[in-house]
Amino acid sequence: MPNVTIITDFHLLGFSEQKELQILHVLVFTAMYLAILMGNFLIIILVALNTHLQTPMYFFLVNLSIVDLGSTSVTIPRSIANALMNTTWISYSECVAQMLFFLFFMSSDIFLLTAMAYDRYVAICHPLHYTSMMKWRSCIQMAGGAWMAGLVNAALHTGTIFSLPFCSNVINQFFCEIPHLLKISCADPYFSEIWVLLFSIILGLLCFMLIVMSYVQIFTTVFRIPSMANRQKAFSTCIPHLIVVSLLLGTGIFSYVIPTSSSSYHLDEVLAVIYSVLPPMMNPIIYSMRNKDIKAALWKLFYWKHPIKNTNL
C-alpha cells in the first residue's frame, strides 16, 4: 500500500524550473492576461453602451466574455505571482477553490458556446421565427442553465477529486488540473479517471455534437443563399465560432483523455495553455475583427472619447 500523506499545500512546478523560464513566463503570461482583460472588458462595455448591440447574440457574447475573464483570473495571476516570488506553493484550500472555479467557468464556457450555436442556427435557418424563438426570457433561461450546469459539473468533479487520498503534493502543472491531481493520488488512477472524467467527456462530446448538428444545418442553408454578400455575412459569424469550439474542445478533451504518465511534461503545459488561455484571448479578436457592428461601436466609442477638431485653414 502506498504511503498516504496528509496534504496541507501543493507545489505547482509548471514553468518554474529555471530563472530564465520564470522571467519568460511572467512576461508572456502578463501580456496574454492584459490582452484578455482589455479585449473582454471592451466587449462588455461596448454592448452595455450601445442599445443596437443588446440582442441575443451579443447577450451570449457578454456572458462568454465574463466566463473567459473568470477562467483566466483564477489561474494566470497566481502563476505569475509564484514566478515573481520564485515559489511554487499553493495552499490546499486555494487549490480546491482554483479547481472549483476553473471547472465552473470552463464548463459554463462550453454550454454557452452551445447556446450561441443554437442562436446562430435559429437566426440563419429560421430568420422569420427568430424573434419569437429567441425571446429575452428564453435567452436568460439558456444562459442561466449554462451557468448552473457549469456549477454542478464543477462541484461534482471537485468533490470527487479532493475526496481521494494523495501520496504527493507535487503538481507538474501551472495550476491545479484534474489529470495531474489524479496522477499524485494514492487511489487507482485508471479507476478514478474513469469515474471523474467520464461525465465531463460525455457532456463535452454531447455539446460538440449539438454544435456540429447546428452548423451542418447552418451551412446547408447558407449555400442556398443566392446573395454572395449575405452568404459572406453568415460565414463571418459562424467560422470564428467553429474555430473557438474546435480549439477549446479539441485540446481540452485531448489533454484530459491522454494519460499523464504517458504524455510529455511540456506537452501537458502547452495543451493547458492552448485550451485555458488562448480561447479567452482570441474570442474578442475573432468576434470583433469580422463583425461590423462591433467595429462600428468601437469607432463610435473612440470618436466620442477623441472628437476630431474642425479647423479652418
Task: Give the pLDDT score at 309.
Answer: 47
Reported confidence tier of residue 137, pLDDT bands at 50, 70, 90: very high
Per the model's pLDDT, the better-predicted residue between 69 and 185 turns out to be 69
Task: Report the mean per-residue pLDDT for the chain.
Answer: 82
Per domain, the residue ranges of the chain are 9-300
Task: Give the pLDDT score at 286.
Answer: 78
Give the model confidence (pLDDT) of 199-256 as tens digits. 777 888 888 889 889 988 888 888 787 767 666 766 666 777 777 788 787 777 777 6
Query: Is the model's pLDDT at 299 over the cut of 60?
Result: yes
Three state DSSP letters for the chain? CCCCECCCEEEECCCCCCHHHHHHHHHHHHHHHHHHHHHHHHHHHHHHHCHHHCCHHHHHHHHHHHHHHHHHHCCHHHHHHHHHCCCCEEEHHHHHHHHHHHHHHHHHHHHHHHHHHHHHHHHHHCHHHHHHHCCHHHHHHHHHHHHHHHHHHHHHHHHHHCCCCECCCEECCCCCCHHHHHHCECCCHHHHHHHHHHHHHHHHHHHHHHHHHHHHHHHHHHCCCCCHHHHHHHHHHHHHHHHHHHHHHHHHHHHHHCCCCCCCHHHHHHHHHHHHCHHHHHHHHHHHCCCHHHHHHHHHHHHHHCCCCCCCC
**Most confident of the following: 136-140, 289-293, 307-311:** 136-140
Pick the CATH number of 9-300 from 1.20.1070.10, 3.30.230.70, 2.40.100.10, 1.10.10.10: 1.20.1070.10
